[in-house]
Each structure stands twice: as structure tokens, then as C-alpha cells.
Structure 1
Amino acid sequence: MAAVMVGQFHARDAEGRIYPVHEFQESTLQADGNAVGAPIVTYRLAIGDRVNHLGENRFELVASGVELIRVP
């Protein structure tokens, strides 16, 4: 898999803390270097923690379950 950062934004938790979130597109590559299938979008904090997209502007930290809202 090859991952390319395609965006970044900030998200806030219920206590007001701000988290920098990076958006990646990952694609599976064949041996010849060609992509297979549609890219998969994943999210991670700047420090590497995984983030799940819950829909619209809502996200969740995988490790702790803290819900985040994207800052406009």
C-alpha cells in the first residue's frame, strides 16, 4: 500500500482541545506499480494515532474513543 497525504485540518474534542488531523489516500499497488481499485481514505493525528470518520464533521480517536468535531 502507498499512502499520500491529501489534506489536513483541525478538530476539537468536547473539552475544547484542538487536534491536528491528516487525511491520507491509500491505494494497493501491483508489482508493476499500477494501483488496484479505488483509493481508501484514512485519517491520523499528526502524532500518528488513528482516527475513524463517523460521518459529516464527526471523528473518533481509535485508541481512546474520544469524539472530535472538525473545526470549520
Structure 2
Amino acid sequence: MAAVLVGQFHARDAEGRIYPVHEFQESTFQDDGSVHGEPITSYRLAIGDRVRHLGEDRFELTQSGVEIIRIP
């Protein structure tokens, strides 16, 4: 699997803290080297913590459960 950085944005929690979030697209490959299916989008903080997309502009920090909202 190969991950490519395709975007980055900032998100804010309820207490006003701002988090830099990186968006990656990951492709899975078959044994013959061809791409298998659609790319998978994943999110991580700049420091590497995982982020789960809840829908629209809402995200959740996986380790702490803190909800963050994408800043337009």
C-alpha cells in the first residue's frame, strides 16, 4: 500500500485549539502490481496521530475521542 499526501487543512476543537490535518490517499496493489479498487482516503494530524472522518466537516481524534471541525 502506498500513501500520497493530497491535501492539508486546519480543524478546531470546542475549546478553540487548532489542529493541522493531513489528507492522504492510499492505493492497494494486487500481486501483479496493478491497482486494486478505489483509493482509500485517510487523515492524520501533522504529528502523526490518526483522525477519523465523521462526515462533512466533522472529524474525531482517534486516541482522545476529541471532535474537531474543519475550518473553511
TM-score of the aligned structures, taking structure 2 as reference length: 0.95
In the alignment, what sits opposite 1:20? 20
TM-score of the aligned structures, taking structure 1 as reference length: 0.95
Query: Bigger CA drift: 2-11 or 29-38?
Result: 29-38
Deviation of 1:33 after TM superposition, in Å, equals 2.8
Distance in 2, matches of 1:53 and 1:59, equals 5
Q: Which runs of 5+ in 1 are unaligned?
A: none
Distance in 2, matches of 1:48 and 1:33, equals 28
Matched, 1:66 2:66: yes
* Counterparts of residues 5-44 of structure 1 (less than 5 Å): 5-44=5-44
Letter of the 2:7 counterpart = G
Q: What is the aligned-residue RMSD (CA, Å)?
A: 0.8
**Runs (4+) off by over 3 Å:** none
Aligned length: 72
Letter of the 1:61 counterpart = L
Q: Which runs of 5+ in 2 are unaligned?
A: none
Letter of the 2:28 counterpart = T
